[in-house]
Chains A and B, each alone.
Chain A
Amino acid sequence: MHYTFDIEKGNFTNAGNASGSVKKTLKQLNVDPSSIKRIVVALYEAEINAVAHAYGGKIDIDIDGDKIVMVVADQGPGIPNIELAMTEGYSTASQKVREMGFGAGMGLPNMKKNTDKLDIQTELGVGTTITMTVFLKN
């Protein structure tokens, strides 16, 4: 099962579309509610991150019998210091983003917390690709 979604820079209102449709499928698959919650929260954070920081991007989601793999690839500034970005509360979000209630510096830490595997590939000035894996049980 494969899904693709586009990410548009600065469009916070549409962020959440990907997590919304994935959520319905996961409920149909009878995945246990706590795993669904973790997946949806992680994916939403990744969507928001890309919307806030990048110039655009794409989400690819694959569900097979035992896991869900979510790849969020953006064209953007890249993450200069991953270790720092993983720190709770550390944020480089602009004032505009913060005024909208985002940018609390919990994005990456929340993704880490809610997934079984988190891989970050980033190149300054080119973009970031985040791959999140959650193993499914039902």
Chain B
Amino acid sequence: MGSEPRALQRLVVVGDGLVAAGAAVTLARLLRPHACQVMWVRPETGRGSQEGGVEVADPALGRWLAMMGYPESELVRACEGLYSLGTEYRTGAGTFFLPYGTHGIRPSPAPFEQEFFKRFQGAEQRAFANHFLATQAARRGRFDFPVDDPRSAKSTLRYGLHLDRAALARCLGEFARSLGVECLHCKTFEVNGDPDSGIRHLSVDEGTEVAGDFFVDATGESALLLGEALGVPFEQSGVAPWRYRLTYQEAAEHPWQPRAQMSREPWGWRRRAGLQGRRVVDCWVRDEAALEQLQQELGACGEAATVEVLGAGRRASGWAHNCLALGHADALPGELALSEWFWASRCLLLWLELLPDATGRPALRAEYNRRRQGLYEILNEVHWMHAANVECDEASLPESLQWRLSVFRTFGRLWRRDDEVLSDEAWVALALGLGWHPKGYDVTLADIGVERLQDKHDTIYRTLVKVAETMPTLTSVLKGSDKGLGNEVK
């Protein structure tokens, strides 16, 4: 018979960005009811306030906000937010839409996407993504909230958010304080700890000692706790498809559109994500020569841009002793499709699922690090999918991704992994859009005529268009009453 666990009583979050703020909120909301105090040390030497950036969040953010009890509509107002139904891609081979949500069509007898593999060869299979209400609505600038009634096409909708990242971090910081998080701003701090015994305490501004029984390192790539103090090494990735991220601003799009845009450029990828008052453009740039060329082009247009050098890789472990690293302090799986906050929040929720007590729990830590490694690989795969056949050939992709793509291309089947970050439907739409086209299809469709499938798809398409056309525009949703804002079905 075991003994009573010794619950963690005092958690210390260290860092000054969105990841730190989000971690403080999460821990306060989920652990304070269990008599756990959360202290947040915000060093000036930590990460900047991320002014000018945009958080392009998938529907997971909405679910997290609901879990935290933060009113989404307030956040949208405070962060110049726009609702998003997905991402519109422009590649050399054409355009496609990567929708959030589901198509809602039950297998009959084969999964819905298989019907498109039977009907079409090659790029025409992308028609699959047109059979989502999100796609049709986004193309028309329309937006509505999902409903709970499975008979309604709107039940298939899910939405993400575009939020001013600095404002988001501020809002979450204030929210954390309202939840009872003790916040300590400081100019400098030192970490008292070592690789053998973990972190003992922080010395803040050469005087105050901050002790805790667990520490969350959200200090960015410098990883002042896990990396510097505990000596967990950073394992650099041999290659990275894009070495720079260049960010600049554009005038807001009018009317507002419920989607982000990704476009293939000679130098890499360009993402445009709208906020209410402006658009933020992030460019993932292959190398220095490409960066110079892009800067010259932007300079000619009078655009001011910031440039960030991108790293790639991960710490040998994300949790060591009594310290958990989150976000860039832990790893850089690549953020072309999923942000640092997405990565950090998945890790934090995993840690909370396992939740150690104050006795250490080495097996639990090993389980966390095992699953976090898998999660890293999955995020990294999504990032690399965008590089295939341009920045690298397929043989240079991570081996696990090569296998998954082979299975997809041969059979049109998904090879799922534990803790997937994309839904099956999103993975299919993305793979099709980026140029992987299955040669085979579900054999149960072999005896079904193409005309029958076409009739079915035409009917679904017409229905979706009809529903989309009756939806309000995003502008009217945001400028209209507060009806429906917040507490939506996620």
A joins B in a complex:
no
Q: State the A residues within 8 Å of B (CB).
A: none
